[in-house]
Amino acid sequence: MMPWWALAILVLGVNFAFWGTVGLSRLLDQLTISRWRSRKRAAYPGNVVALRHDPGGRRSRQIHLSVDDVAVLIPAHNEGAVIEDSLRAITKLVPRKNIHVVSDGSTDDTFEVALRCGVKAIKTRQNVGKAGALRDAIERFKLGERFPVVMFLDADTRVDPGYFAAALPLFDSLKVAAVAGCVRTDTRRMLSPVGNLLTGHRMRIYAIGQRVLKFGQTSRHLNATPIVPGFASLYRTAVLPLIDINPAGLVIEDFNMTFEVYQNGLGRVGFTLDAVAVTQDPDNFHDYIRQTRRWALGLWQTVRRHPPRLNLFTAMLALTLTELVTSSLLFVILPVIAAVLIVPDLVSGAAGWPGFASVYAVVSIHMTLARIFYGVVVPDFAMTFLVAILERRPRLLLAGPFFPFMRVLDSAIGLWAIPLAWLASSNGVWKSPARRAAPRKHREIAPSPVPAAATPEVLDAAYAPQPAAAAFE
């Protein structure tokens, strides 16, 4: 019979234990030598390794990067309800002239809102997909020639004031090719009980995934994170020409760009919990399932595209994928096992059903309801309790009993995506989840109109969207 602690290991995961240990080591390292590093930088202010871009294409003296060195590129498809809020937040942190928007075939007022906010804006003639819009906008705006670092920012994302102060120093190491932002879900919206359940589930994933997994995966010596999320990430522009941003057949771009950083030996990925950006997560099951399906499919399509290599990244990725599949199978099968175990207690004559008695006998040999409770429900609720403390959200405890069912849903979607990644091709054309403007009390008085920083342009699609075997949103 499987003991409860074996179930708990499958629920929490070997990756959780391994990367949590690495992350703890990283945290101790930061605490013990951060003061020494600070004193060293103060004593030798010229000992800096970040390089500023020269508009003439040359490299000038070595300096610390600042927000003046950052280009912000926002791809947007029908984001008129939220993009103004995002632009207000980012223009407080980055010079307005550094901000660029590409409206990808939008049919709403996304492009007009961007121009009204006084940032550089262009639009595509048709929806070519996020990756295609990014690639074309980088070329059209000549971001690689004008800036040493570019931020890819989703149109529904608000960057916190301390983001750049925390993220840019990571580029002081020339080995860092990209910096991943720390995502937080937007809690300003008034949501239904279902919306609170879905966003609470995402909050829990973000809190544990970033504090334990990603913090460990982006350490100096064991650096192997599978994704630099595209919601608010920074890349050195010097590595972008070496990355195929928009390969054919992928539904999303951020997994692929991260894989290319590691598999092409372009450098490491940096991450700090202090580089925070807030994003809107789906608040209804239709959008949640669609987005989760898109993410899962994008992961496995990227795995298909990148053959394994003899390096740390491939080894850590293999561990992650193995555990992802096994834990997903467990969560998909558990409801069936629980149903088999509970039916005889609910229906007195169930033991006499044809075939059921033998099924019950086999299942009960290996599992009991008590073991499911102590091995799955209790550890899962313990994670919810921890996140409720970390995020100061006691209301998460009310949704805690429902989160295992969300994990069953996520697991089913993830398993569904595996064969489909090899059977279907995607064209990257996207449709954003339903957006909700922030409540008025959270919105600031609109700034006075600012003349647009660039003449409006329309990008010709560099290619016609390829037909896909199935449509994915």
**Per-residue model confidence (pLDDT) at position 454:** 42
Residue by residue, pLDDT tens for the chain (473 residues) are 556 556 666 666 777 777 778 888 888 777 765 555 555 544 444 434 444 544 444 444 456 899 999 999 999 998 988 899 999 999 999 999 999 999 998 998 999 999 999 999 999 888 888 999 999 999 999 999 999 999 999 998 999 999 999 999 999 999 999 999 999 998 887 889 999 999 999 999 999 999 988 999 999 888 999 999 999 999 999 999 999 999 988 999 999 999 999 999 999 999 999 999 999 899 999 999 999 999 999 999 999 999 999 999 999 999 999 989 988 998 999 999 999 989 888 887 777 788 888 888 888 888 889 888 888 899 899 999 999 999 999 999 999 999 999 999 999 999 999 999 998 777 767 666 666 665 554 454 344 444 444 444 555 443 333 333 333 33
Nearest to 256 by CA among 275, 285, 230: 230
Question: Residue 180 pairs with which residues in a beta bridge?
Answer: 271
* pLDDT, position 14: 75
User: What global pTM score does this model have?
Assistant: 0.84
| Alpha carbons within 13 A on the beta-carbon side of 95 | 10
CA dist 18 and 11 (Å) reads 14
A 10 A CB-CB count for 308 gives: 12
- The candidate with the shortest Cα–Cα distance to 71, out of 105, 101, 49, is 101
Please report the pLDDT score of residue 56 as a whole number: 46
SS3 236: strand
Q: Which fold has domain 12-320+429-459?
A: Spore Coat Polysaccharide Biosynthesis Protein SpsA; Chain A (3.90.550)
- The pLDDT, as a whole number, for residue 9 is 65
List phi, psi (to 5°) of 234: -115, 135
* The dihedral sign for the CA sequence 110, 116, 117, 123: positive
SS3 state at 92:
coil
Q: How far apart are the first and last CA of the chain?
A: 43
- Torsions phi, psi for 348 (to 5 deg): -65, -35
The distance of Cα 96 from the centroid of its chain, to the nearest Å, equals: 26
Query: Cα–Cα distance between 174 and 176 in angstroms, integer?
Result: 5
pLDDT for the residue 449 = 45
Give the model's pLDDT for residue 465: 34
**The pLDDT value given to residue 418:** 96
What pLDDT, on the 0 to 100 scale, is given for residue 429?
74
Which residues contact residue 180 at a Cβ distance below 8 angstroms, ignoring those fewer than 6 apart?
Answer: 214, 218, 225, 227, 228, 229, 233, 269, 270, 271
With CA atoms as reference, report the closest residue to 272 among 215, 324, 321. 215
The pLDDT value recorded for residue 455 is 45
The per-residue pLDDT for 431 is: 65
Structure token digits, residue 337: 């096992």
- State the angle between helix axes of 378-390 and 403-423 in degrees (0 to 180), rounded to the nearest 10: 100
Q: Which residue has the tokens 């491939």?
A: 314
Of 222, 321, 296, 301, whose CA–CA distance to 262 is shortest? Answer: 222
